[in-house]
A and B are shown apart, each in its own frame.
Chain A
Amino acid sequence: MIAGFERPSQGTIRLEGVDVTATPPHRRNVNTVFQHYALFPHLSVWDNVAFGPRSRRLAEPEVRRQVGEILERVRLSELAARRPGQLSGGQQQRAALARALVNQPAALLLDEPLSALDPGLRSTLQEELKRIQRECGISFLIVTHDQEEALALSDRLAVMNAGRIEQIGPPRQVYDAPSSSFVARFIGRANLLAGGDGRSQLLLRPEQLRLQADPLPSDPAEQAVRARVTAVTFQGPSLLVELDAADGSPLVVRLNRWDAMASVRSGESLWVVWQTAAAHRLTV
């Protein structure tokens, strides 16, 4: 809808303050990096990138200057003569980025830009994407299903559920202080405990919990519940311990792999402890 391929059933879309709801895609000052890049197979990287400037009938020397500059920025100058079919996934992604950015849009839309890449490449390109965004100073609107990607890439993060924005804010705020249990569960893993008053829930992230064998010491700033370990998953730098609390509700705790409790096994009964102040209260 922002790119203009679909019309909203109601409401308006404003771009730099101008209503563009009825403007067709080719007249909008918005460009898109498509999920599978949609590079033109019959054109070289150079001609793909020059497609937009030529559509806008820029003089050819100006086209050359802009295309050369943006290819430099995404580090594809060496491969400008290649066809998309001769590029790796990461290179195609950068070509698609250059093809959209060269038009200096008011906003750049990226539809799951990294989803077609393998995980190793993904994190490199995340950094690359951030660098390019900072250099160009153009707003990037990124759609992703990958929560880690969302947290890592964004300055502002909107969580959408069934077409509605549930929450919008800086990634830290969305993670630490979600506005609903949907957001809490959607971004990262969440432990939701009864708030005690029947109308609210307490959110505790797995890394805010700690395990210990002894019952609670007399620290008034901490709380604890008794739980039984049901599964332990080794994840490299950390361990994910899943437990059932005494009241039957599931809990998940992330431990540093050097944590004193890192050798817990399924079936053991333990205490799950947290700082009372760390809990975020959600109104149901």
Chain B
Amino acid sequence: MNASPRSSVAEARPSWPWALLAPGLLWLLLWFVAPLASLVPMSLSEPRDRFSLAVNFTGRLDNYAEVIGQYAPILLRSLQIAGSASLIALLIAYPLACWISFRGGRFKGLLLGLVVVPFFTSYLVRTIALTTLLADQGPVLSLVRALGLDGGLESIGLLSDGRLLNTAAAVVIGLAYNMLPYLVLPLVVSLESIEPQWLEAAADLHAGGFSTFYRVIWPLSLPGLSAGVVLSLIPGLGDVVNAQFLGGPNDRMIGNAISNLVLVQGQAPKAAALALLLMTLMTGAVLAQVRRHGSRELTAS
């Protein structure tokens, strides 16, 4: 009896649960994989004329070489802008997540709800609302001027000619604001998995508050931190809206460049090549994250 063959165990596992995957799989195939795959031939084509998006497939690899040469600086600047935004959002999100996890008590759910509340309004509306806040006569600049901080902020490059709107700083602020929930949620998931007993054990083993933080809390929050950075950096890098509404003409990001290639220049093949390059970059980042820390924190939020 105890020597029953292994195959019978495998047979005992029903195959129907795979059917649960089917709707999602089908949806992704239809609306994600298929359009993405169609970009591949397009990226190897030439535009038929200047007035439509119609293309002739010519197997032209030069599109890639050209967009890399032409858009590398914009890609780099996009990385800088999205990276700074992610960093600033992180500096706000980390203490916030700590506070919610360790001090939230019975208000934890409410506090997390408040973090998510901005999602109830459209992304576009929220970003346009920021233009009012950051405008030349808006509340932010009025406060800065009233505190006499405008000179100092100008000298470190946060203001240009006394303005905030239509600067790279405004794009960073907008992105950081929009990224906040994507950082807070995975961080809270990570911090929640820290047992209070581990903190007691650290104190018992003669570690003070700071020592406990950087030897226990910080390393155990790293999976959430890295998930948050990936979740915020990727939409940030591809973002079009913030640069368009908050940035100046020199603060365009890679997303704006792609949209410009399609809508203004009629260069769909180059846009496709650029989009695929960006996609590859981001997929690489996600895979690296999942390999290192698993997908729990990415999906838990």
Known: A51-B215, A55-B211. A40 touches B201 (CB 8 A): yes
B207 and A40 contact, CB distance less than 8 A: no
Chain B contact surface mostly: helix
A51 and B202 contact, CB distance less than 8 A: yes
B205 and A103 contact, CB distance less than 8 A: yes
In the assembled complex, B24 has its CB within 8 A of some CB on chain A: no
| Interface residues in A213-235 (C-beta closer than 8 Å to B) | none
A26 and B201 contact, CB distance less than 8 A: no
Chain A neighbourhood of B219, CB < 8 A: 42
- Minimum CB distance partner of B201 in chain A: A38
Distance between B296 CB and nearest chain A CB, rounded to angstroms? 14
Known: A38-B195, A42-B220. A55 touches B201 (CB 8 A): no
In the assembled complex, A5 has its CB within 8 A of some CB on chain B: yes
B204 and A32 contact, CB distance less than 8 A: yes
- Within 8 Å by CB of B200, from A25, A39, A56, A99, lies A25
A38 and B200 contact, CB distance less than 8 A: yes
Chain A neighbourhood of B201, CB < 8 A: 32, 34, 38-40
Query: What number of B residues sit within 8 Å (CB to CB) of A?
Result: 17
In the assembled complex, A164 has its CB within 8 A of some CB on chain B: no
- Minimum CB distance partner of B204 in chain A: A32
B197 and A26 contact, CB distance less than 8 A: no
Chain A neighbourhood of B215, CB < 8 A: 51
In the assembled complex, B102 has its CB within 8 A of some CB on chain A: no
Fill in one digit per residue for A21-42: 1 if any B CB lies within 8 Å of its CB, else 0: 0001111001110101011111
- Within 8 Å by CB of B207, from A31, A38, A42, A51, lies A51
Distance between B212 CB and nearest chain A CB, rounded to angstroms? 8
A99 and B205 contact, CB distance less than 8 A: yes
Within the assembled complex, what's the spacing in Å between the Cα atoms of A26 and B208? 6
Within the assembled complex, what's the spacing in Å between the Cα atoms of A3 and B220? 25
Distance between B53 CB and nearest chain A CB, rounded to angstroms? 52
In the assembled complex, A171 has its CB within 8 A of some CB on chain B: no
Within the assembled complex, what's the spacing in Å between the Cα atoms of A104 and B208? 19
B198 and A24 contact, CB distance less than 8 A: no
Distance between A98 CB and nearest chain B CB, rounded to angstroms? 12
B207 and A36 contact, CB distance less than 8 A: no
Known: A55-B207, A103-B206. A36 touches B200 (CB 8 A): no
A52 and B200 contact, CB distance less than 8 A: no
- Within 8 Å by CB of B205, from A4, A24, A31, A36, lies A31
In the assembled complex, B72 has its CB within 8 A of some CB on chain A: no
- Minimum CB distance partner of A102 in chain B: B205
Distance between B56 CB and nearest chain A CB, rounded to angstroms? 56
- Minimum CB distance partner of B212 in chain A: A26
Instruction: Tally A-B pairs: CB < 8 A.
Output: 58
A27 and B206 contact, CB distance less than 8 A: yes
Chain A neighbourhood of B208, CB < 8 A: 26, 55
Best-buried of B201, B216, B219 by chain A (most CB within 10 Å): B201
| Interface residues in B11-49 (C-beta closer than 8 Å to A) | none
- Minimum CB distance partner of B195 in chain A: A38
- Minimum CB distance partner of B193 in chain A: A41
Distance between B253 CB and nearest chain A CB, rounded to angstroms? 36
In the assembled complex, B203 has its CB within 8 A of some CB on chain A: yes
Within the assembled complex, what's the spacing in Å between the Cα atoms of A147 and B211? 39
Within the assembled complex, what's the spacing in Å between the Cα atoms of A18 and B216? 30
Chain B neighbourhood of A99, CB < 8 A: 205
- Within 8 Å by CB of A55, from B195, B200, B205, B220, lies B205
Distance between A249 CB and nearest chain B CB, rounded to angstroms? 45
Best-buried of A5, A36, A38, A42 by chain B (most CB within 10 Å): A38
- Within 8 Å by CB of A38, from B197, B206, B211, B220, lies B197
Chain A neighbourhood of B203, CB < 8 A: 4-5, 24-26
Within the assembled complex, what's the spacing in Å between the Cα atoms of A100 and B197? 14
- Within 8 Å by CB of A26, from B195, B206, B220, lies B206
Within the assembled complex, what's the spacing in Å between the Cα atoms of A32 and B199? 13
B197 and A55 contact, CB distance less than 8 A: no
Chain A neighbourhood of B197, CB < 8 A: 34, 36, 38
Within the assembled complex, what's the spacing in Å between the Cα atoms of A5 and B216? 18
Chain A neighbourhood of B195, CB < 8 A: 38
| Interface residues in A146-169 (C-beta closer than 8 Å to B) | none
- Within 8 Å by CB of B204, from A31, A41, A42, lies A31
A40 and B198 contact, CB distance less than 8 A: yes
B204 and A40 contact, CB distance less than 8 A: no
Chain B neighbourhood of A40, CB < 8 A: 198, 201-202, 216
A5 and B205 contact, CB distance less than 8 A: no
B200 and A34 contact, CB distance less than 8 A: yes
Chain B neighbourhood of A41, CB < 8 A: 198, 220
Chain A neighbourhood of B206, CB < 8 A: 26-27, 52, 55-56, 103
- Minimum CB distance partner of A25 in chain B: B203
Known: A42-B220, A55-B211. A26 touches B204 (CB 8 A): yes
Can you identify 19 A-B contacts, CB atoms within 8 angstroms?
Answer: A5-B203, A24-B203, A25-B203, A26-B202, A26-B207, A27-B206, A31-B204, A32-B204, A34-B201, A38-B195, A38-B198, A40-B201, A41-B198, A42-B219, A42-B220, A51-B202, A51-B215, A52-B205, A55-B207
The 8 A-B residue pairs with the shortest CB-CB distance, nearest first, are: A38-B197, A55-B206, A52-B205, A38-B201, A25-B203, A55-B207, A32-B204, A26-B203
- A residues whose Cβ falls under 8 Å from a Cβ of B: 3-5, 24-27, 30-32, 34, 36, 38-42, 51-52, 55-56, 99-100, 103
